[in-house]
Amino acid sequence: MTAATEFETANSTYSSTFSKGDLALPPARKVAVVVCMDARIDPAAALGLSEGDAHVIRNAGGRSSDALRSVIILQRLLGTKEIVVVHHTDCGMLTFSDTDLRGIVKEQTGHSVDHVAFLPFKDLEESVREDVEFFRKSPLVLDVPVTGYIYDVKTGRIDKVE
Ligand SMILES: [Zn+2]
């Protein structure tokens, strides 16, 4: 049994009582949340979001530059007027360097990924500040409120990074 076949079973239950088929395409709360892909975080539950409320963009680390393509689409085509960045404690991105991962890929595949920035970081607060600044300063991003948080995987709390 693969995870995919388990999903099919779970989804038949889910879709049998599904009642949110009439939501609008633009996000009701006009906000984009950029958050790490970490499996321990449930952004909807942690931030009080329901279907149709917001776009949640997830990637390794919740890095802004990786989310830029999606943010441009949201701002220019879907009316998104606010951005929230969420990184978290115990993030895997704190545990390796570009050099480490490039070495692993090269060794295991024979291919060089020296041109790929995997965007790991050494300082959690600093990484949030960097990603908030990235959106604030990007000429491609509209001038909207950008707020950064650290989510604590032990307590479920978010703390704002000033
Ligand atoms: Zn993470």
User: Please, which pLDDT band fits residue 53 given cuts at 50, 70 and 90?
Assistant: very high
CA distances from 123 to 18, 39, 61, 90, 109 (A): 42, 21, 12, 11, 30
Rounded distance from Cα 106 to ligand 1 centre (Å): 23
Name the phi and psi angles at 65, rounded to 5. Answer: -65, -30
For position 156, what pLDDT does the model report? Answer: 98
**Residue 38 alpha carbon to ligand 1 centre in Å:** 5
4 found inside a domain: no
Question: How far, in Å, from the CA of 95 to the mean position of ligand 1?
Answer: 10
Domain-located, residue 146? yes
The confidence score (pLDDT) of residue 146 equals: 98
Q: Which CATH number goes with the domain that contains 41? A: 3.40.1050.10
Number of domains in the chain: 1
Q: Is the pLDDT of residue 38 over 90?
A: yes
103-135 confidence digits (pLDDT tens):
999 999 999 999 999 999 999 999 999 999 999
Does some domain include residue 5? no
Question: What's the gap in Å between 161 CA and the centre of ligand 1?
Answer: 16
Q: Is residue 111 domain-resident?
A: yes
Q: Is residue 116 part of a domain?
A: yes
When pLDDT is averaged across residues 75-83 and rounded to a whole number, the result is: 97
CA separation for the pair 80, 58 (Å, rounded)? 16
Residue 90, marked binder = no
152: confidence class by pLDDT, cuts 50, 70, 90 = very high
**pLDDT in the model for residue 42:** 98
CA of 41 to the centre of ligand 1 (A): 9
Where in the sequence is the domain holding 133, given as residue range(s)?
Answer: 26-161
Is 91 within the bounds of a domain? yes
Q: Per the domain annotation, does 21 fall within a domain?
A: no
Residue 55 lies in a domain: yes
